[in-house]
Chain A
Amino acid sequence: MATALIREQAQRARILDPAAIEAKLALNAYNVDRQRAHIRIIDHDVCLQCERQQCINCCPANCYSPRDDGRVLFSYEGCVECGTCRIVCHVYDNIEWTYPRGGFGIQYRFG
């Protein structure tokens, strides 16, 4: 079981430099909606069936991270609302994706 888990995790993609993304996101203006997460993983157990978990490495804002138990952790605070994860998860359709409430979320000053 342990070996299977390690092998499975090795197949997971990894962002080469997640810290670089975090540093860039810190430059952006956000109005984070503390009341409501606009994106959520519907069933965390479904992620266990997903071999490559491409949401993790495709997200340009590093919002998805691998959990030790093989599931995926999502945090919406740095989300740039691009929609990538929703399309990436087309096989399992396991991401509920909506826009933040009016006025919340990323606020580009330059775009």
Chain B
Amino acid sequence: MADGDRMDAIVVGAGPAGVTAARELAGAGLAVVVLERGPYPGAKNVWGGILYHRPTEDLLPGYADQAPLERPIIEQRYQVLTDDALLGVTYRSQRFAEPPHNAYSVLRAEFDRWHAGTAEAAGAEVYPEFTVTDLLWEDGRVVGVTTGDPEGELYANVVVLADGANSLLAQKVGLHREWAPLEQALIAKELIALPPGTIEDRFNLPTGMGSALEIFGESTWGLLGYGFIYTNKESLSVGTGALLHDLIDSGRNVNDMLDRFKRHPAIAPLLAGGETVEYSAHLIPEGGYNRMPQVYADGVVVVGDAAGFVNPLNREGVNLAMLSGKFAAQAIAEATERDDFSAASLARYRELLDESIVIQDLYKIRNVTDFAHARPHLLRDYPALASDMAREYLSVDGLSKKEKQRKMARMARGLPKGRLLRDAVGALRALT
């Protein structure tokens, strides 16, 4: 304890960011508690399902021997659906099949519980079943948290807000306003049980290995988002999602979208005979760099999803969350040495973020969402055109090759004049 009943730090939320912050703080010899609203860490947490190895190994050396992992991911498939067709590219590498693996499929309820144990082993206290309803203030500084009843008040030098995509607490601190529909994506997911051998047969996998599929286009009615299938040991994580703004605009329901995806003739055979054992839905903060909230104030820092540290383009979130937790802990440890928990002192957290891939990557892709959102035809017209051209090319129907070539060129010319060029230039600008 830093000072009587006052902790050095309170972490709100036992997800990847909060647990990493707690473990690092405890490792630095600070008194830290984690308050988790679920009955166990992970009970409220959802993701698609891919954990990258290297960033996890950097924070938790040797974790792969202990953590509950599902399958090493040895291939990535990017696919596009039209009404009746599927096009795609696959990258599979034998190198991904050998340790150190690049990535694993993981189930959060199991992983997060295990992960919280690493913070406890370092000396942090993790208390489930505590919902923090508000912060405690003194002279405009955050000095603690409350669960809403008088006995539920807890004081600390710094509060780490790791309360996830909704982060009601960061809003109470005034660090950001309510999220807008353009800043959040909504995902619905099912866990579909299948025997391991069936999964390996259907996805052409060696025993124990896994595949990750991301599927654009009609998987989301062409809305900005995608469908996914990730292989677990004895189940598939199957989901779809889109920007909340687009769901509102189109009047679509995300579960209707998921069911339609599952029924697609190119997808249904992969799932056939599977039994759904859980249904989940979650927001993903995708506002990115341009809409990032202030991440520190007097006596408080914001980490992980609560701060919007998600890279939707590269399917990264948990690794960024963990890194942000680490930097928050480092900044708090330094602030503790200075005995100064003001915003100016905690600004060190932002400095560490700025020097890392968390901010650098988010800055790099800052215009991607706006680029794609301004072009609703991207995931509708191009897949349809590519499918039409591929079908023409592959159909042997008596037309000469020269006639076929002309026909395919006519298809491409059906696009509005100059659109392809404008989109290509726009994509380059957004990505470089």
Contact = CB atoms under 8 A, between A and B. Distances in A.
Contacts of B129: 102-103
Contacts of B281: 60-61, 80, 82, 84
B186 A58 contact: yes
Contacts of B283: 82-84, 87
B371 to A, nearest CB: 22
A53 B128 CA distance: 36
B186 A82 contact: yes
A54 B107 contact: no
B273 interface: no
Contacts of A24: 190, 255, 276, 279
Nearest to A107: B43
A60 B257 CA distance: 10
Contacts of A86: 166, 178
B37 A111 contact: no
Given A54-B248, A111-B46, A87 B282 contact: no
Interface string B242-285: 00100110011111100100000000000000001111111100
A101 to B, nearest CB: 6
B251 A83 contact: no
A62 to B, nearest CB: 8
Given A80-B280, A108-B43, A17 B259 contact: yes
B178 A20 contact: no
Interface string B104-126: 00011110100000000000000
A15 interface: yes
Contacts of A52: 248, 251
B109 A90 contact: no
A32 interface: no
B67 to A, nearest CB: 14
Nearest to B42: A111
Interface in A35-78: 52, 54, 57-62
A20 B38 contact: no
Question: What size tier do the contact residues of chain A reach?
Answer: 35 or more
Interface in B268-314: 276-283
A100 B37 contact: yes
A84 B166 CA distance: 9
Contacts of B277: 27, 110
A111 B186 contact: no
Contacts of B188: 60
A68 to B, nearest CB: 20
A60 B191 CA distance: 15
B387 interface: no
Contacts of B42: 108, 111
B146 interface: no
Interface of A: 13, 15-17, 20-21, 24-25, 27-28, 31, 52, 54, 57-62, 80-84, 86-88, 90, 97-103, 105-111
15 contacts: A16-B253, A16-B256, A24-B255, A52-B248, A57-B252, A57-B253, A60-B255, A62-B255, A83-B184, A87-B180, A88-B181, A102-B37, A102-B130, A108-B42, A111-B109
| Across the A-B interface, the 7 shortest Cβ-Cβ residue pairs | A111-B108, A24-B279, A60-B281, A103-B129, A102-B129, A13-B251, A83-B166
